């Protein structure tokens, strides 16, 4: 190790930590990806990207990165375990440490499944507070390693809150602690849109206003959010005052976007919803139920309409 570049090694270790603690740092990953193949550090780089692919549920990429790690390098020690965890090998590795890691992972999975069963029981017994507490715990546990799965579970939880006619304020408070206010608001609004609820436009308006006041923001993200907001307005008679509030913020912060969509928004306020069909006309998909997190049902709902 004395011959290795210590600064590069520190960056690689930081990148490794970022992909394994749920706080992935794109800047670090960008810095290490160009470390040349002939470098003694390259196997560590490939291990980082193999782990990123594993957590992102991309087994083909896991295979590519693991295969590129030389068998005589230190990171190769983890290859059998990762091949098995990614579903690329039938038989579990035989090493003692590998077996202990697998045992710990299986116990952890069993614990989470038990917690899910408890949440479903509270649901059947009509205990909103207990359901909200238990499902929020599961969402928090998933979020660090599997953010997309945690968001799918969040949509499912909102669906159950809606079906039972519950208030949802406790779940909302939990989600804001887990995701932060902006992302929690987006997920709630996303569920309302997904379910075709009457309040969907107002929910997305609340999210859009928060987004517009959050700095800094990628303009493409803002425009995507604005397009979804316009799409939501197709189905309801919008509040002209709320439209004006959004226009005023756009004028100050994103005047080019305001100019691009102002005509559609003003016509919407004056004449009703028909103008959006011809002016924006985004693709419309049929509403569908959020997938249950049951072990018998593993379908994932597309959550990331744009980078959050």
Q: Where are the domains of the chain?
A: 6-94, 197-286
| Cβ contact 52:29 at 8 Å | yes
| Contact between residue 200 and residue 232 where contact means Cβ atoms under 8 Å apart | yes
> In whole angstroms, what is the distance from residue 66 CA to residue 52 CA?
12
Three-state SS at 179: helix
* Direct distance between the N- and C-terminal alpha carbons of the chain, in angstroms, rounded to an integer: 39
Q: What is the pTM of this model?
A: 0.59
Candidates 264, 250, 185, 181; CA nearest to 219 is 250
Encode pLDDT of 211-256 as tens digits: 999 887 788 899 999 989 888 887 777 888 888 888 889 889 999 8
Q: What is the pLDDT of residue 55?
A: 82
Q: What is the pLDDT of residues 157-202, one digit of tens each?
A: 999 999 999 999 999 999 999 999 999 999 999 999 989 898 999 9
Task: For residue 32, give both structure tokens.
Answer: 């290490």
Contact assessment for residue 228 and residue 305, using Cβ atoms and an 8 Å cutoff: yes
CA-to-CA distance for 202 and 207, rounded, in angstroms?
9
In the chain, where do the E strands start and end?
none
Q: Of all residues in the chain, what percent carry a pLDDT higher than 90?
A: 34
Distance of CA 150 to the CA centre of its chain: 7
């Amino acid at each position: 190790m004395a011959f290795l570049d210590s600064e590069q090694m520190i960056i690689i270790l930081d990148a490794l930590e970022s992909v394994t603690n749920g706080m992935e740092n794109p800047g670090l990953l960008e810095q290490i990806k160009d470390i040349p193949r002939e470098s003694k550090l390259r196997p560590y780089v490939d291990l980082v990207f193999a782990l990123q692919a594993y957590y992102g549920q991309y087994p083909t990429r896991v295979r590519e990165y693991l295969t590129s790690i030389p068998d005589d390098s230190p990171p190769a020690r983890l290859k059998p375990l990762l091949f098995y965890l990614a579903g690329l090998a039938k038989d579990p590795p035989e090493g003692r440490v590998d077996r202990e890691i697998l045992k710990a992972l299986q116990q952890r999975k069993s614990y989470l499944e038990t917690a899910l069963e408890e949440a479903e029981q509270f649901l059947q017994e009509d205990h909103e507070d207990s359901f909200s507490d238990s499902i929020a715990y599961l969402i928090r546990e998933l979020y660090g390693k599997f953010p997309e799965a945690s968001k799918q579970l969040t949509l499912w939880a909102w669906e159950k809150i809606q079906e039972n006619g519950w208030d949802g304020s406790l779940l909302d408070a939990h989600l804001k602690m887990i995701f932060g206010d902006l992302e929690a608001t987006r997920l709630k609004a996303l569920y309302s849109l997904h379910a075709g609820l009457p309040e969907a436009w107002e929910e997305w308006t609340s999210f859009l206003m928060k987004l517009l006041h959050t700095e800094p923001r990628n303009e493409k993200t803002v425009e995507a959010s604005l397009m979804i907001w316009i799409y939501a307005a197709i189905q309801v008679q919008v509040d002209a005052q709320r439209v004006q509030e959004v226009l005023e913020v756009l004028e100050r912060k994103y005047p080019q976007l305001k100019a691009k969509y102002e005509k559609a928004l003003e016509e919407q306020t004056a004449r009703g919803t028909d103008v959006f069909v011809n002016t924006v006309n985004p693709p419309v998909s049929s509403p569908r139920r959020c997938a249950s997190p049951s072990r018998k049902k593993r379908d994932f709902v597309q959550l990331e309409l744009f980078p959050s």
